Structure formats: structure tokens, C-alpha cells
Amino acid sequence: MFNIISLISGLLFGFGLALSGMVSPSKVVGFLDLTGNWDPSLAFVMGGGVLVTVISFRYILKQPSPFFGKEFKLPTKTDLDKYLISGAVLFGLGWGLGGLCPGPALSSLAYGNPKIFAFVGAMVGGILIAKALTGAF
């Protein structure tokens, strides 16, 4: 059941990203371009998502265990360490340059654009480099 729920969640997520316009790098850059021809759409995407999770997560996390699994696997760190900030800075730089974050990039593999394959390949390379440098291997 856990695996089927994961598949359904992924299907909804991929469709939601496409419908929201977030698969378009121009739309993402249009949001980040505050001094240009600003497109506020991304704030509505994030707002719509958080509107749901801020209510549903509170209820779900009050339960002793998840409905479709054995246990909750949640982030445990609470401190604002140098990794959090420096990682967010690197990500923000890449996001602004490419107009793509991981969800829209993976979803857009559906459309067969070779530029997206290049981005996703580089993203996997970036993960491997970061894991090697932080000693995760």
C-alpha cells in the first residue's frame, strides 16, 4: 500500500507542477524578476500548497503512526547550521540561473526536451559531488 500511495502522490505532484506553470523556467524566472515584468504566480503555487499542508500536516502528525505505513520518517535536525544556509545559497544560485528546481526538472523529463536531460544529468552529478565532498560515501 505504501508504494502505491507513493506512486499516486507522485502522479498528483507531477500534474500539479505542470498545471501550476512551474515546469516553465520562464515563469519561475518571471517570479524571481522583481524589477522586471513580474509574474506573481509562483507565490500562488507555494501559497496554495502550504494552505493545504499547514492544516493537514498538523492533523496527520498528531496520529501515533501514519495511515499507510509503519512510522513517520521526518527530518530531525532543528538547528540553523552552516550546511542549511550554504546549501540554500547554492540552490538559489542554480535556481535563478536555470529557472528549474528538482520537481519541475524531473517532471519535465516527460516532454523529451534534451536541455532538461542535460539539467537532470548535471543535477545528479551535483548530488554525487556533494555526497563525495561531505563524506556521505
Partner 1 sequence: MENFTPYSSLLGGIILGVASTLLLMAGRIAGISGILSYLIPPQSGDALWRVLFIAGLIVGAAAYPLFGGDMSFLNANPYQLSDNAHYVLLIIAGLLVGAGTYVGAGCTSGHGVCGLGRLSLRSLTAVMSFMAVAVVTVFVMRTVVGG
Q: Does 79 sit near partner 1 (CB under 8 A)?
A: yes
- Work out how close the CB of 117 gets to partner 1 at its nearest, in angstroms, rounded to a whole number: 10
- Decide: is 64 part of the binding site for partner 1 (CB under 8 A): no
Q: Of the candidates 18, 62, 64, 135, which one interacts with partner 1 according to CB under 8 A? A: 18
Q: Closest approach of Cβ 28 to partner 1, in Å? A: 8
Q: How many residues bind partner 1 (CB under 8 A)?
A: 116
Regarding 76 and contact with partner 1 (CB under 8 A), the answer is no
Query: In angstroms, rounded to a whole number, what is the distance separating the alpha carbons of residues 23 and 65?
Result: 34
* Angle 54-10-18 from CA coordinates, rounded to 5°: 85
Whether the Cβ atoms of residue 99 and residue 28 lie closer than 8 Å to each other = yes
CA distance 45 to 21: 9
